Chains A and B, each alone.
Chain A
Amino acid sequence: MIDVREVEPGVWSVIDGTRSVEIRLVGDEVRVNGVPVAVDTSDPRQWSPQAARGAVAGSAQVKSPMPGKVIEVLVMAGQEVAAGQGVVVVEAMKMQNQLKSPREGRVQAIHAKQGELVNAGAVLVTIE
Chain B
Amino acid sequence: MPQSGPFRKVLVANRGEIAVRVMRTLREMDIAAVAVYSDVDRSAPHVRKADEAVRIGSYLKIDGILDAAQKTGADAVHPGYGFLSENAEFAQACTTAGIKFIGPSAEAIRRMGSKTEARKVAVASGAPVVPGTDTDVRQFAQTAQYPVMLKAVAGGGGKGMRRVDREEDFESSLATASSEAAAAFGNPAIYVEKLIERPRHIEIQVIGDEHGSMIHLGERECSIQRRHQKIIEECPSPLTAIDPTLRERMGQAAVAAAQSAGYYNAGTIEFLVDQQGKFYFLEMNTRLQVEHPVTEMVTGLDLVRMQVEIAGGAKLALRQDQVEWRGSAIECRVYAEDPDQQFFPSPGRITQYAEPAGPGVRVDSGVFAGWTVPLDYDPMLAKLAVWAGTREQAAARLRRALSEYQVLGIKTNIGFFEELMGDAEFLAGELDTGFLERYFARRVERTVSEADRALAAEAWKRARKRPQAAAQPVSNWKLAGRVHD
Contact of A29 among B159, B180, B409 (CB under 8 A): B409
User: Does any Cβ of A come within 8 Å of B227's Cβ?
Assistant: yes
| Interchain nearest-CB distance for A68 vs B (Å) | 9
Residues of B within 8 A of A31 (CB): 406, 408, 456
**B344, B405, B474 — which one has the most chain A CB atoms within 10 A of its CB?**
B344
With A and B bound together, what is the CA distance between A23 and B338 in angstroms? 22
Report yes or no: B473 in contact with A35, Cβ–Cβ below 8 A: no
Please give, as numbers and ranges, the residues of chain A lying within 8 Å of B346 by CB-CB distance: 66
Minimum Cβ distance to chain B for residue A24 (Å): 6
Residue pair A5, B471 in contact (C-beta under 8 Å): yes
Instruction: Identify which of A25, A28, A74, A95 contacts B459 (C-beta below 8 A).
Output: A25
| Chain A residues with CB below 8 A from B455, complex form | 14, 16, 21, 23, 32
Do A66 and B345 touch (CB < 8 A)? Answer: yes
User: 1/0 contact trace for B94-125 toward A, CB 8 Å?
Assistant: 00000000000000000000000000000000
Whether A12 touches B471, Cβ cut-off 8 Å, given contacts A36-B415, A43-B482, is yes
Q: Provide the bound-state CA to CA distance between A67 and B452, in Å.
A: 33
Can you list, as one digit per residue, whether each of B134-173 has a CB less than 8 Å from chain A (1) or not (0)?
Answer: 0000000000000000000000000100000000010010
- What chain B residues lie within 8 Å of A4 (beta carbons)? 459, 462, 471-474, 477
A117 to B357, CA, bound (A): 41
Cα distance, A88 to B463, chains bound together (Å): 42
Q: Evaluate contact between A37 and B485: CB separation under 8 angstroms.
A: yes
Which residue of chain A is the closest to B485 with respect to CB atoms?
A38
**Interface size, chain A (Cβ < 8 Å):** 52
A96 touches B183 (CB 8 A): yes
A44 contacts B378, C-beta separation under 8 Å: no
Pick the residue among A29, A30, A89 that contacts B176 (CB under 8 A): A89
Nearest-CB residue, chain B, relative to A14? B455
Within 8 A of B (CB), among A54-79: 65-67, 71-72, 74
Band of interface residues on B: 35 or more
Of A1, A11, A37, which is within 8 A of B483 by CB?
A: A37
Which B residues lie within 8 Å of A89 (CB)? 176
Whether B482 contacts A30 by the Cβ 8 Å rule is no
Return the CB mask of B447-485 against A: 1 if under 8 Å, else 0: 010001101110110110000001111111100011111
- Minimum Cβ distance to chain A for residue B194 (Å): 22
Q: Which residues of A contact B172 (CB under 8 A)?
A: 74, 86
B71 touches A (CB below 8 Å): no
Quick one: CB contact mask for B367-388 with A, threshold 8 Å, 1 for yes? 0000000011111000000000
Give the chain A neighbours of B474 by CB distance below 8 A: 2-4
Residues of A within 8 A of B485 (CB): 37-38
Known: A4-B472, A24-B406, A35-B452. 17 other contacts (CB 8 A): A2-B476, A7-B471, A10-B352, A14-B477, A23-B459, A24-B408, A26-B352, A26-B408, A35-B415, A40-B482, A42-B482, A44-B482, A65-B341, A92-B344, A93-B379, A95-B227, A95-B345
Q: Residues of B with Cβ closer than 8 Å to A?
A: 159, 169, 172, 175-176, 179-180, 183-184, 227, 338, 341-342, 344-347, 351-352, 375-379, 403-406, 408-409, 415, 446, 448, 452-453, 455-457, 459-460, 462-463, 470-477, 481-485
The 5 closest A-B pairs by CB, nearest first: A6-B471, A2-B477, A37-B456, A93-B345, A65-B344
Q: Which residues of A contact B (CB under 8 A)?
A: 1-7, 10-12, 14, 16, 21, 23-44, 47, 65-67, 71-72, 74, 86, 89, 91-98
Offer 25 A-B interface pairs, CB within 8 angstroms, sorted by A: A1-B475, A4-B471, A4-B474, A6-B471, A10-B352, A21-B455, A23-B455, A26-B408, A28-B460, A29-B409, A32-B455, A33-B452, A35-B452, A36-B415, A37-B485, A39-B457, A44-B483, A66-B344, A66-B345, A72-B179, A92-B344, A93-B345, A94-B184, A96-B176, A96-B179
